[in-house]
Structure formats: structure tokens, C-alpha cells
Copies of this chain bind each other. A is one copy, B any other.
Amino acid sequence: MPPVAESSLGVKADFPIFSRRFDGRELIYLDSAATSQKPAVVIEALAEHLRGHNANVHRGVYALAREADAAYDEARRRVASFTNATGGETIFTKNVTEAINLVAYSWGRAHVGKGDAVLITQMEHHANIVPWQVLCRERGAQLRYLEVDERGELSLEALDQELARGDVRLVAFTHVSNVLGTINPVAEISARARAAGAVSLIDGAQAVPHMPVDVDAIGADFYAWTGHKALGPTGVGVLHGRREILEGMEPFLTGGDMIASVDFYSATWNALPAKFEAGTPMVAEAVALGAAVDYLSGLGMERVRAHERELTAYMLERLAQVPGLRSVGPLDADSRGGLVSFTVEGIHPHDVAELVDRGGVCIRAGHHCAQPLMRCLGVGATARASVGVYSEASDIDALIDALLAGREVFGL
């Protein structure tokens, strides 16, 4: 089947890593769900900040410090407006994991107690599971799971039943599953949580880099995502939060920049968002993330989504041709993000990844930090291929060839 019209955005040349050769071969990178590659403009923004505008923020009166302040503020504005999150506060964290922990520690310890429940789903990443396990154990609360059905989807009726029990204080769920690919009905879930008096938190790590996301329209109380998956550098994540809730919360990390004043035995807190950004922030990384979202906006997130949808449809179709291959998650590309997890009969996923690497193809194998979901799926691990803005249909052809060759190595 010939690659379809939108199956390439023609931007590979923007990403320096694709000019590298591995044993003389091109890089075929189908692991964007783990981390994205970075366009030259992002790397250059990072380097240029450190090269020419570096100073500590928030405190200096000299020209260079004013430049650093302005760059950091501007990065926050860009990042907030990229997902239309300007109705709330935007806090920079080191990754989405810290963002979720921030909410678990600061909001959770004050609002979740005995007799309360935290509701998450069976398709969460460990980052959206373990902090709630720890919180519930510490506070004597109950952790409950919303089931994933055989299509790999959540049921809104099941959600209503859970909420009807009246004890749910928080609903935490992923926007897009990093294993199943499922795109969840996040606005509906947030609205139902709110109607039931529960706070909502969305893990947008796999959504923001790949589709238009309108945080204000979705209406969750917290929406978190991570820079390195969105063409940004490592070391920076984002937490969007409703202002009233953040204002009522105690801080998480404490120290410099987040205080209004410090006495010997007590301190008062700075205004938002500084209250939640203790210590010197990842200024250069935030600036580079600002460049990343500008780059994505330049491509147009509708186009990015259309492109990745086409590639996913193509990938599902081609994978179905590989004997013994079973993919998980929704069947049609409209309901899923740009990744497909699968198993191959007779070859452990770890070996699948190793075998396709011989064809120069990079995919991931393992539990994808979603062990509870693996248990639900009845597998220990899967292989996963995932796309990004730079992916092309030919990458998927290479994957299929490598899979077929791998089967031969195993005598299948």
C-alpha cells in the first residue's frame, strides 16, 4: 500500500540527529513516545540562552538579568498559550513526574483522608499510579481503578458508578495511553469529576506533543505534561493548574524564590506561580521548550495530528500483515495517538526490539512503566513503535521488514 498524502511533513532535515549514520545506516526512530528528537531551533535556543543571556532570574537589576527574566517569563507565556492554558497558572517542573508528585504531596496530603478515595485508571503510567499509592497508604484512603475494556477504552458509565459512591476526592487519568494509544474523553471525565465534587488531574505527556490540546476547554483542575517528549530538552515539565486550588495549597518544595518572607521559625509564600518553583529554575530549558512549542505551532497541531493519524493507520495495517503479531488498543486510528504496542508470538518483546535494531529501527520493549496495565492485558511486556512529527511511512516499512527478518532469525 502506497504511503498516503500527509504521511510525511517533510521536516526530518530540521532534526540534526537524522543526519547521523549508525554503521553507515540512517536512523529509523520509532520511539518518540519515550522521548522525542529535537529540532535544531530548539537546541539552538537552549545554547543561545546559555551563550548570551544567562543570569539568575527574578532578582537581578542589571541588563543581563533583565534579559534572563524576560526570557523566562516569555517562555511561560508561550508554553501556556500553546495549549490555551492561560485561564490558570503554569508552573515549570523538571518533568511530568514531578508535576504529579507536586499535586499528590501538596494537594493530596491536605485533601485526601480516611474514608476518601482516589480514582485512577488501569491504563496509567507509573508516574500517575505510584504517587497515589503512596498518598493513599499514608492517609488511609482507598485507591480504586477504572477498568479498561477489551477495546482498550474507559467506560463513562463505570466512571459514573464510581463517582456515585460519593467518596472520590480526585480522579487522575491519562489523556492518551502510552501503551494502548487510546485517546480518552478527557473533557467528559473532567466534567463528571467536577459535578461529583472531585478534583481532576490529567497526564497529558502523550497528548500535548501530538494533537491540538485546549486545556481551558478540557476543564480539568490540573493538566501536566513533559518537555522532552514535545521536542523540548530534558529537565523541564509543565503543570497547568486552576488558580483557586493552587492558591489554597501549601507549597511542595521550599527554599529560595518561593517565599515572600522568611523569619527564623516561619515563612510566608510568594505569589503564584513562584510559590511552586523553589530554587533556581530550569531557565534555559524553559526557553528551549518555548522554542519547541513555537516550532510545533509553526507546523500546526491539526496538521501534526492528521499526519500522525495517517501514519498510525498505516502502521496498524502493515503490522497486521506480520504473522503472529497481535497489537493492543483501539482498532481504528481515529481513537488513538501515534503509537502501537504489540507482541509477536514466539519472540519476547525484548528480543523483538533487539532484532529490529539490526535493521536500524529503534523501538521500545518492556512494561512501558505501566505494569498494572500489563497485568490486565495478560502480558509481561510488549514492543511499542511510536511516531513523531518527523516520522514517515518509509520508517514503518523498515519496521515491517525488520520484523519479518527477525522472525526468520528465530526460525519462525
A261 to B126, CA, bound (A): 10
Let me know if B126 and A54 touch, CB within 8 A. Answer: no
Residues in A72-119 with C-beta less than 8 Å from chain B = 94-98, 100-101, 105
Distance (Å) between the CB of A84 and the closest chain B CB? 25
CB distance from A78 to the nearest CB of B (A): 17
Query: How many Å from the CB of A367 to the closest CB on chain B?
Result: 8
Q: Is the interface of A mostly helix, strand, loop or mixed?
A: mixed
Copies in the complex: 2
Chain A interface residue count, CB cutoff 8 Å, equals: 93
- Over the window 352-366 of chain A, the binary record of Cβ atoms lying under 8 Å from chain B Cβ atoms (1 yes, 0 no) is 011001000111111
- Decide if B228 touches A280 in the complex (CB within 8 Å): yes
Select from chain B the residue with minimum beta-carbon distance to A266: B133
Chain B positions within 8 Å of A357 at CB level: 61-63
- Which stretch from A1-9, A35-43, A206-214 is at the chain B interface? A35-43
Q: CB of A169 within 8 A of chain B? A: no
Whether A412 sits at the interface, judged by CB under 8 Å, is no
Please tell me which one of the listed residues B253, B284, B366 contacts residue A234 in the complex, with CB atoms under 8 A apart: B284
Does the CB pair B235–A236 fall under 8 Å?
yes
User: Quick check: which of A45-53, A297-305, A322-330 contacts chain B, the rest being far away?
Assistant: A45-53
Q: Nearest Cβ in chain B — how far from A173, in angstroms?
A: 15
Chain A: residues with CB nearer than 8 A to chain B? Answer: 16-17, 20, 22, 27, 29, 31, 34-35, 37-38, 40, 42-44, 46-47, 50-52, 54-56, 59-65, 94-98, 100-101, 105, 125-131, 133-134, 137, 143, 145, 226, 228, 233-237, 253-259, 261-267, 278-285, 350, 353-354, 357, 361-366, 369, 371-372, 375
